[in-house]
Structure 1
Amino acid sequence: MKIEIIQGDITQIEADVIVNAANTSLLGGGGVDGAIHRAGGPQILDECMAIRNRQGGCKVGEAVITTAGNLNARKVIHTVGPKWNNGNSNEAELLRNCYLNCLELAESFNFTSIAFPNISTGIYGYPKEAAAQIAYEAITGFKAQELESIILVCYDEENYLLYTELFKHK
């Protein structure tokens, strides 16, 4: 499995599936979530609303899938990362579950490529180094059957440097 780390805008990435760092309401928001909803168009929100009406949103650590709308992807997987609470609210396990549930969902659709943002490291305040370590462990420990390419899209230079260092031997 090829792992690529780039600094850039996830809405510009071409992959079978792009991961959205969503909130529990699935109705869009700031950061990556807002950017994906804006770039992907109203079809994504329509499907998110249907999921919300059916199951009440998406719980922290879980993942759901929708169309990618106008994005250069076939689908968007929405996952809800944990808000940082000084490590007192099971944040590490919840963040690990985000990555694993996205990878498993991508596999279930036989996708060969997936692009991840840095989940929970923006307004949710997860310490970037700790979050990068969790992403590294989840991704390198995952036994892919279909996935051939994982693209880690870092919006900021700090995350890019952390991920580049962690994954350099992989």
Structure 2
Amino acid sequence: MVSSDDTYLSMRGGVSRGIRRMGGEEIYKESQDCRILNALSIGDVVVTSAGNLPANKIFHGTVIDWQLELFPSKKIIQKVVHDCLIKANHYGYKTIVFPLLGTGAGCLNKQIAWEIMLKQIIMDLSTIHQTLIEVVITLYGRETLSDLNWKFFINEMQAKWEIK
């Protein structure tokens, strides 16, 4: 399971707050231990246990740096997705679940975030040997797939890679 957070791993917003509330304080305490041991930069991924959640690990992707006033960008989202897929492969996981990274406090447009993430996932799964067989992108709250221009995007990808 992937969490979208800041470089302090504060777990105060959106998805990360929900993970902390439902998974327990153990996740937050572990993330703070990791933060103290390693100075985090935007784009880094830290791994903790999943506490009470029905997952093996939480991959905390840092997509905001409040101190430097850095917010999610294409490069940051690509890096977090790529690093999470590499880590999931390292652990031998078959499934990974992502939120739409950077679309909460980071204010990244949902359509843009979805397209960046999907392109990176497709690229990684087609070029790197993976143990993953399922990659899920979850939508938060009242968001639905119909909120995203997915048909256009899929057609664009099919045309680009000549997928029939």
Q: Secondary structure at the match of 1:111?
A: coil
Cα distance in 1 for residues equivalent to 2:2 and 2:140: 14
Return the index of the structure with the highest Cα Rg: 2
Cα distance in 2 for residues equivalent to 1:99 and 1:81: 11
1:136 aligns with 2:136: no
Cα distance in 2 for residues equivalent to 1:37 and 1:147: 25
Cα distance in 1 for residues equivalent to 2:53 and 2:149: 24
Structure 1: which 5+ runs fail to align?
Answer: 1-17
Structure 2: which 5+ runs fail to align?
Answer: none
Give the AA of the match of 2:140.
Answer: Y
Report the count of equivalent residues: 148
Larger RCO, structure (CA 8 Å, separation 6 or more): 1
TM-score (norm 2): 0.80
Cα distance in 2 for residues equivalent to 1:128 and 1:82: 16
Residue 134 of structure 2 is matched in structure 1 by 149
Structure 1 position 99, deviation (Å): 0.7
Q: Percent identity?
A: 27
1:75 aligns with 2:57: yes
Give the AA of the match of 2:53.
Answer: L
Residue 60 of structure 1 is matched in structure 2 by 42
Provide Cα deviations, 1:46-90, integer angstroms capped at 9, x if missing partner. Answer: 11111011013x32112110000000101100001257xxxx988
Residue 91 of structure 2 is matched in structure 1 by 109
The partner residue of 2:32 within 42, 49, 56 is 49
TM-score (norm 1): 0.78
Structure 1 position 27, deviation (Å): 2.6
Runs of 4+ aligned structure 1 residues displaced above 3 Å come to 156-159, 163-170
Q: Secondary structure at the match of 2:21?
A: helix
Give the AA of the match of 1:118.
Answer: L
Larger deviation: 65-74 or 138-147? 138-147
Cα distance in 1 for residues equivalent to 2:20 and 2:154: 29
Provide Cα deviations, 1:134-166, integer angstroms capped at 9, x if missing partner. Answer: 011101111342011111111145463227544
Gap change, CA 1:158 and 1:65, over 3 Å in 2:
same
The partner residue of 1:92 within 61, 67, 74 is 74
Structure 1 position 120, deviation (Å): 0.4
